[in-house]
Structure 1
Amino acid sequence: MLASAACFDPGRAIVVTDDDATTAGPDGSSGTGDPVADDSGAPATTTGAEGSDGSESTGVPSGAVCGNDVMEGEEACDGDDLGGQDCTAMGFGGGVLACAADCSVDVGACITCGNGVIDGDEPCDGEVFAAADSCDEVGLGDASEPLHCTAWCTLDFAACSACGDGIVTAPESCEPGILGTASCASLGYDGGTLACGDGCSFDLAGCTQCGNGVLEAGEACDGSESNATCDSLGWNGGELGCTAACTYDTSSCGSCGDGEIAGNEACEGADLGGATCASQGFFGGALSCGADCSFDTSGCSGSGCGDGVVDAGEDCDGNAFGHTCLGEVGLPDGLVVCSPTCTLDTSGCSGTPPLRVFVSSGHFAANFGGVDGGDALCQDAADDAGLGGSWRAWLSDGSSTAAARLSHSDGPYTLVDGTLVANDWNDLVDGHLAHAIDTTELGVLADVPSTWVATATTAAGALQMFNGTCANWTTTAAGSAGVGNVQNTSTWSDSGAIGCGTAVSLYCFEQ
């Protein structure tokens, strides 16, 4: 009789090497390929080579510390660390891969059905058939009637004319409503409800099997699959496990009062886990454990971190009001927060660092040597003030413009004291500043109203064509130059014109 359902064969062993998978039967025969299943109807699984503790495993790793839950050296796995491997990656159809006590891979719960390869006594797997692929070949119909394959790698006779006649004819497993003496249990499953599919083969969807990694009827859990937590089961936090019988393992759940700190418990009785009043932000006193296994700080004394007051040695306490990413680390985006230890946490800060701008404290004759000479004056002023960086003047002449000469940043522009001038280049040249450029390289306000700023430039960074450039900033003779005013936020760059003999300041921009 052809197989009606794949099952676990305890006489077979699978040893995975670096090159292939080799199956060996109890009679000593061997073959190359995936592990196989017999025809008794139980869920298809395979067993690996027996490890030192009796577990089914593959490979013999060496040169590492086995049992620390970290794959090292030649280990194939370690505890829950399977290195990203699963049954399908090892050529099986599915199932649950595990790690043996000797840090070798345990494929005992892997199944072959579903890998598209005929293994052992499987009559079919997906679109692949071991022998018969039409109804006439199994005596249930004509050659024009095709056989199909079920999800359990058994033949599906739905297209055969004999299927559905109310008579179970081999190799049919059943007829609709006629199961004979078969049940989920007789087919090797733990339980569930067996049915007959439309193809006159057993429908195992209602059968349950603990250990297949699928949460099924009658199971509280299966491997890592569970709908519960320690908290939902009434415990005090912790990690809920699953036993080999698919029942809850609460050994790692916390239970206040059992003398062992577990789960969400901070302490247990006199066991404070090394904590003290000082570690909780107080200056002294006696820390104790409350009835709910949380710290009782009523015996602690002195204010400290966590009292909402910024004390000596604290950067903040509870909140970081007044602290910005721009001010603390020079980044425009994100938020500064106060850490549990009352220090500033700037890990949430991001963005492009700002570029600084200032108006020169010095006043210069208009013949300062063209735009290059203006750049040199800005660089000297920044260096003398200890600002560092590379600087250029906001200047245009007959052959170049400020927009063409200066860096276009997607980050903010600020005064040297951190005051925001513009959010980025586009904001800088849109005709309105967030704050006037009224502060010098020394961080003090410019001398107003005597400060006129040489620019010959519109607020958009283009040449101001009508007010002049004092012969491209080379003369103090007759003529005029376009200037800006440090008091303005809209006409900051284009406020009018002055004679070339008038002393001027410069807008200086970091590059």
Structure 2
Amino acid sequence: MTFERSFTQSIIFSTPLLCAIAGCTTGGDGSTPFASGSAEDESGADENEDENEDEQTADEGSDSCGNGVVDAGEQCDFGDENDDSSPCTSICTINVCGDGFLYEGFEECDDGNESNTDACLATCKVAVCGDGFVQEGVEECDDGNDIETDSCTSVCTPGNCGDGELQEGEQCDDGNLDDSDECPTTCQLAFCGDGFLQEGVEECDDGNTASNDECISPYCVPATCGDGQLWEGVETCDDGNLDDSDDCPTSCEPATCGDGFVQAESEECDDGNDVDDDFCSLACTANGFFDDFETGDLSVLPWETSGSADWSVQSSQVQAGSFAARSGSITHSQSTNLEFSVDVPSGGVIRFWERVSSESGYDYLYFYIDDVQTGSWSGSGSWAQQQYDIDAGEHTFTWTYSKDSSLSSYEDAAYIDDIEVGLE
């Protein structure tokens, strides 16, 4: 039990109550170790005391304090048992909360003031986090509970994004301040367009949901020609593919004659220059014969394939565009042929690109004009353009991939692309 009093006026307790607490007894004459708590004497006469004088006497203690008799100016007197930690202090005042004396067994602390913001509350309880009072210099907040998800945590710090506790208004809180994971420092779930680059998920994030700038939403990938999104100020067209033979080639500028890309529906050729008397005219019509295999088959020229396996059109190895011709799959001591015959109205050249990936010095790609070998290539190399002069008249052009009797190396194949027959 705690006795409390104000700092301006002593509280007078009834003698039986104090004796019951302190364990004292009244004498035969009715005397006790405590001052009388009655506001009137037995005759009913008023006994008004000078409060200021009493308080001064109590603060200093009377000369008779400790004699076991409650004298004038004393609230109590237990004699030798007077103690600052007992019911009656060493200055013969009743030990109450706020007097600066620690009453053992009843008070946890007593710092002599009524402040609830220091280490000892006005109730003489030691201040702790969760008591509802903010301890200055120690606590940032104290809402009187141990709930982690409100504005003040159980350790009396304000709930913040990044503290690992999910507070009201937060979608997530992973206990860090890393903007590159799935829960950034806004404590809102990461999404494309939030302005934070999520590692392993996004390639870019410019903080908006636009799909026509350099970082495309909702995928957060850098804008590129062929992604199907028109990059404002950079691209004039974007049809979502990397096909140079349609209306919007890989430059993402509308296809035109002279851009170097053969538009399948409207151009026979496009050599990317402004010369009219070469193989491809300024109108993008061929001054001869041409096949870049962009039809995906062997239908443009009068092709014939023979030997141990047929040549085919594929897309894994190309010089330009999307397709090129590949030799048939053969084994040792076999060969595979691809040829066409045309009537060349005037002299000129034949040009083509070749690439070989074979056992060097043993497996070869041979080129023939009218059954006369004019070129051969072996080993593993990159694409190279070849050119040979031809006269006017009927000609047969043949490409043969041939293997020796043993061993295979690399891709064991030959490729050709962009065949031109006509003016030089």
Same-fold call, TM cutoff 0.5: no
Q: State which structure, 1 or 2, has the greater radius of gyration over its C-alpha atoms.
A: 2
TM-score normalised to the size of structure 2? 0.22
TM-score normalised to the size of structure 1? 0.19
